[in-house]
Amino acid sequence: MALGMSDRVMSPSQSQPGPGAPVLLLSRPKRVLLVEPHYKVKYPPLGLMKISSYHKLGGDEVAFCRGTSAAARDQNWDVIYIATMFTFQWKVTIETIRFYGRGKQKNKNNVKVGGVLASLLSKDVEEETGIRPHFGLWEEVDGVRPDYHLFGQIYDRYVNNASFGYMTRGCPNRCPYCAVPILEPRYVDFIPLGNQLDPNKKDLILLDNNVLASPHLARIVHEIESHGFRKGAKLGNAQRYVDFNQGIDARLVDEGKMELLSRLPLRPLRIAFDSIRLEKLYVNAVRLAHKYGIRHLSNFVLYNYNDTPDDFYRRLQINIELNEELGTSIFSFPMRYIPLDAKNRKHVGPNWTETQLRGVQCILHATHGVVGPKRRFFEAAFGRSSDEFRYIIEQPEQSIFNRATMRPYRAERE
């Protein structure tokens, strides 16, 4: 079906899911449409990938559409599944659900909605669309190998070279800014990897929320290695990499755990740095990573929660200092806090102002959301001190975008 990129339908794949997955016993094959709203996204919808495999096991015809497409909607589908992600993507998500709810389905029970937004705001979704969402994981489907072939080349090139999986589920922490305890309240400390992999994919992206909380870390590392992801391993002529994409918990890092992790071809090793109170633990984790030969690191820096602009700047600056001291390459990814029930990104934390937050966004727009490892570029973007940083982010947007027109901070103070 020839459609535009925003509403493209991927034709059914003949690929077969891995062994051990549940088999559907159906009286006749169904026609199934999988839909992802057209919000900005890097990774493919893993839940829909598993639902695709689940239905193909019963001989069903499955197609995928990103965005809204009347050509897709107005076909005769037995069931339409719509994925959801962040709550601040509320508007486009609700518009997408309503759009497909107006199709040729016999009733709205044929439109199934699930995912993060649908679970956290389930009552609101039902009030707006008349469709009651599925809450949390669909456990019968969660163990199915993802369908890696249906989703084509829509997503990031690195992602298309990777298998996706979990070695654990949930998180024993109960951080108030995190949705994981709501969506995955039970911590599962080991999940076999084999049925989740595509052997033709070079890399492995693991989406565990807190892998270091598992008492079976040694078993997890051995399991990953046994599937060909050892340090220095290649697929053909290409180096293989493993990415614990949600990051590891600096509070749980010790020498033994870092030694285990260093056996894997990690690139990067991601470590959360959500609060300045974690400075000593975070720095210790980076030093241990360096000790065991891990040079490429990344971190998530939460801001706009209970921190201050000074706290935020200092966490970014610490990474610059560690890079200079250790010779590491640490890239920071600032993550703006949005409440779990927010339907937009307008929340302003107690120690921030709307102007300051917009100033940070202006800087990150120029750096493509990433804070690089070099001091020269960091100070050019964020300032040479926390005072200068606050000065910069309180300037008009055009002054920030066109920094050459901004009155220098030193001259302002003089």
Among 49-53, 212-216, 283-287, 406-410, the minimum mean pLDDT is found in 406-410
Residue written as token pair 């993550």: 335
- CA–CA separation, 38 vs 324, rounded Å? 41
**What's residue 103's pLDDT?**
67
**pLDDT at 108 exceeding the cut of 70:** no
| Among candidate residues 80, 108, 141, the one where a domain is terminated | 141
Domain co-membership, 349 together with 246: yes
Domain that holds residue 341: 162-413
**pLDDT at 23 exceeding the cut of 50:** no
- CA–CA separation, 300 vs 118, rounded Å? 25
| Among candidate residues 106, 141, 176, the one where a domain is terminated | 141
Domain co-membership, 191 together with 115: no
Across residues 13-25, what is the average pLDDT?
47
Domain co-membership, 228 together with 116: no
Domain co-membership, 173 together with 86: no
Q: Are 148 and 161 in contact (CB under 8 A)?
A: no
User: Is residue 151 situated within a structural domain?
Assistant: no
Q: Are 343 and 91 in contact (CB under 8 A)?
A: yes
Looking up residue 46, the CATH number of its domain turns out to be 3.40.50
**How far does Cα 103 stand from its chain's mean position?**
31
**What's residue 403's pLDDT?**
78
Domain co-membership, 194 together with 308: yes
Prediction pTM value: 0.89
User: Is residue 95 situated within a structural domain?
Assistant: yes
| Among candidate residues 109, 141, 173, the one where a domain is terminated | 141
User: Is residue 154 situated within a structural domain?
Assistant: no
> Quick one: 134 exposed, middle or buried, by C-beta within 10 A (0-12, 13-18, 19+)?
middle
Alpha helices, DSSP H, located in 246-371: 255-261, 279-291, 309-326, 354-366
The more confident residue out of 321 and 149 is: 321
**pLDDT at 4 exceeding the cut of 80:** no
Among 5-14, 61-70, 162-171, the minimum mean pLDDT is found in 5-14
Among 105-109, 186-190, 362-366, the minimum mean pLDDT is found in 105-109
Across residues 266-287, what is the average pLDDT?
97
- pLDDT tens sequence across 157-178: 667 899 999 999 999 999 999 9
User: Is residue 152 situated within a structural domain?
Assistant: no
Among 17-26, 237-246, 250-259, the minimum mean pLDDT is found in 17-26
Domain co-membership, 96 together with 173: no
Q: Average model confidence (pLDDT) for the chain?
A: 90
Domain co-membership, 334 together with 197: yes
Cis peptide before 44 (omega within 30 of 0): no
User: Is residue 156 situated within a structural domain?
Assistant: no
User: Is residue 191 situated within a structural domain?
Assistant: yes
**pLDDT at 10 exceeding the cut of 60:** no
- CA–CA separation, 297 vs 18, rounded Å? 33
* Token pair in block for residue 331: 């890239």
Domain co-membership, 107 together with 214: no
Q: In the chain, how many domains are there?
A: 2
**What's residue 406's pLDDT?**
79
- CA–CA separation, 318 vs 141, rounded Å? 42
The more confident residue out of 210 and 7 is: 210
**pLDDT at 139 exceeding the cut of 60:** yes
User: Is residue 18 situated within a structural domain?
Assistant: yes
Give me the torsion for CA of 198, 200, 202, 204, rounded to 10°: 0
Domain co-membership, 258 together with 380: yes
User: Strand, helix or coil at 64?
Assistant: strand
Domain co-membership, 118 together with 199: no
Nearest to 189 by CA among 209, 174, 203: 209
User: Is residue 108 situated within a structural domain?
Assistant: yes
